[in-house]
Amino acid sequence: MPPLVPPLPILLLASLSLTLDQNVLSPHLTSISQSFSLTPSQRDTMLGGYLSGGLFLLGAPASLLIGSLADSYSRKFLLTFILLLGGLASLLSSISPNFPSLFLARSLTGVTLGASMPVTYSILSDLYPPTRRTQVSSVVGISTSLGVGIGQLLSSMMPEVTGAERWRCAFAVVSLPFFLAAFLVNSQLEEPKRLQSDKLDKKCDEQPAHEEGRNHTEDKREPQSFLSHIMRTPTALLIYLQGVPGCLPWSVFSTFLQDYLLHDLGVPSQTVTATVAAFAAGGIVGQIAGGWGGQLLYNSDPRYPAVMACGGGVAGAAFMVRAMGVGVVVRWAHALASGFFACLTGPIVRGYLSNVTEARFRGRAFSCFVIFDDLGKGGGPMLVSWAIGREGRGKVLERAVWNGWVACAVMVGMIWWTVKGDIERGEIRRKGRGEDKEVV
């Protein structure tokens, strides 16, 4: 019997479910610190820094392991296992009696976050050709953004339940979609054949004559390992490097922003909620614009999306610094603009990575992508929490946002000079192996 549900909706539900519990703690840092008898300094260091470190940094080894397995073994089984593990981690978070147990539970959540992306994008890259991957990447990005936003909003609005704190109830509730998604993946997902969407791009045959003699000898050399492949693909290296500073501001938002606006600036809770919602709404529109606009630009010239992402990073940083300022009248409008511009980059870089890496290395390629992102997401709050203890929240948070996104924008902009050569080399190697004619 054929599956009743197409692959993409199942993968979108899985991506949404896996991020539901990512920001559940964010609205409750102060109340959790009081529950665990922590000082304000310990609140930022332990709940803001250490928990974020455990959530993201411990996901890096899991990502590398699962990414390697995704290149050889059943991705359907791997994704089912990851979802079940994520649901268990949320349940354990809801019953954590103290900080050490909460740290362990959140570290387990980090393992599932790190492991899910290599599997998901390995499947999607075999379902869709390069001319559609940036668009599909934006749809997946929207689902993960919705997951983060829904989980944080649910946590903020969760009513008091007798004998249980609000954040504990939120963790218990968001664990349910994990198990539903695991059931659908296991019963309905039809795993695609590897390489089925990797077709030879006709632009390869249009390579300028003065470049053919220079490139053909070099391009036909087969990389014998993943490391040699990546080291000969500068676009992938730039994508990895931009992830560290680029993810730093995101970790600042998820960890500190809501609590900072509410307790440090004294912003009314309704305004804080509106600001967070506006940023999320702008991010969704930005994901769509980055996916569809970036794909149109890519199909015209692979270099053009890099310019779009570079400009978006700088503009997103400028608007967010303004939204975090003191005495801002239309704070939500600045957050809306920041979310839009900042989210242009995500689908573009993920689409680039799918297109410049060979199918046999794609799981590991996205594992490395997760690792560098997690260095920013996990190491960022730890560094920021240390700096806050020395200089205070306001200046440190603003500098983290500006420096992080501007550095990311510069590195993404450098893809202009690397991407065409990387794509051409990959296409020539695929043609030499006959992979444009045969599905393995």
pLDDT for res 427: 80
Read off the pLDDT of each residue in 422-440 and give the average, rounded to a whole number: 68
293 or 158, greater pLDDT: 293
Q: What is the pLDDT of residues 243-264, one digit of tens each?
A: 999 998 987 777 788 778 888 8
Predicted confidence band of residue 396 (pLDDT cuts 50, 70, 90): confident
pLDDT for res 184: 95
pLDDT for res 403: 94
Read off the pLDDT of each residue in 114-128 and give the average, rounded to a whole number: 92
Q: What are phi and psi of 241, to 5 degrees?
A: -65, -35
pLDDT for res 204: 43
| Chain centroid to CA 320 | 19
pLDDT exceeds cutoff 80 at 319: yes
Alpha-carbon distance 436 to 387, whole Å? 52
pLDDT for res 5: 86
Contact of 422 with 354, CB cutoff 8 Å? no
pLDDT for res 80: 97
CA atoms lying within 13 Å on the CB side of residue 268: 7
Question: How far is CA 305 from each of CA 287, 298, 341, 435, rounded to the nearest angstrom?
Answer: 13, 6, 13, 27
Q: Please tell me which of 54-63, 82-91, 224-233 the model is most confident about, judged by mean pLDDT.
A: 82-91
Percent of the chain with pLDDT over 90: 45
Q: What are phi and psi of 191, to 5 degrees?
A: -70, 130
The two three-digit tokens of residue 113, written as one number: 């976050």
Alpha-carbon distance 246 to 114, whole Å? 17
Angle at CA of residue 337, ends 336 and 343, nearest 5°: 90
Q: Taking all residues of the chain, what is their mean pLDDT, rounded to a whole number?
A: 85
pLDDT for res 223: 65
| Chain centroid to CA 210 | 39
Name which of 188, 194, 192, 173 is nearest 80 in CA terms.
Answer: 188
Alpha-carbon distance 223 to 229, whole Å? 5
256 or 171, greater pLDDT: 171
Read off the pLDDT of each residue in 395-409 and give the average, rounded to a whole number: 93
Q: What is the DSSP string of 245-288?
A: HHHHHHHHIIIIIHHIIIIIS---HHHHHHHHHHHHHHHHHHHH
Predicted confidence band of residue 156 (pLDDT cuts 50, 70, 90): confident
Contact of 188 with 393, CB cutoff 8 Å? no
Alpha-carbon distance 52 to 203, whole Å? 44
Q: What is the pLDDT of residues 255-292, one digit of tens each?
A: 788 778 888 888 887 888 888 889 989 999 999 999 99
Contact of 340 with 33, CB cutoff 8 Å? no
* Cβ contacts of 145 within 8 Å, gap of 6 or more: 19, 280, 283, 284, 287, 343
pLDDT for res 218: 46
pLDDT for res 224: 63
pLDDT for res 320: 92
Name the CATH code of domain 7-190+224-433 (choices 1.20.1250.20, 1.20.120.160, 3.30.70.1430, 1.20.970.10): 1.20.1250.20
pLDDT for res 388: 79
Read off the pLDDT of each residue in 190-217 and give the average, rounded to a whole number: 54
Is 0.95 surpassed by the pTM of this model?
A: no
Q: What is the pLDDT of residues 62-108, one digit of tens each?
A: 888 899 999 989 999 999 999 999 999 999 999 998 889 999 999 89
Q: What is the pLDDT of residues 340-395, one digit of tens each?
A: 999 999 999 999 999 999 888 989 999 999 889 878 877 777 788 788 777 877 88
Which range among 39-48, 168-177, 306-315, 329-338 shows the weakest confidence by mean pLDDT?
39-48
* Cβ contacts of 130 within 8 Å, gap of 6 or more: 198, 201, 351, 354, 355
CA atoms lying within 13 Å on the CB side of residue 138: 22
Read off the pLDDT of each residue in 17-23 and give the average, rounded to a whole number: 90
3-state SS, residue 161: strand
Predicted confidence band of residue 54 (pLDDT cuts 50, 70, 90): confident
* Cβ contacts of 390 within 8 Å, gap of 6 or more: none
Read off the pLDDT of each residue in 31-55 and give the average, rounded to a whole number: 79
Q: What is the DSSP string of 314-370?
A: HHHHHHHHHHTSTT-TTHHHHHHHHHHHHTTHHHHHHHHHHHHS-GGGHHHHHHHHH
The two three-digit tokens of residue 427, written as one number: 């296409």
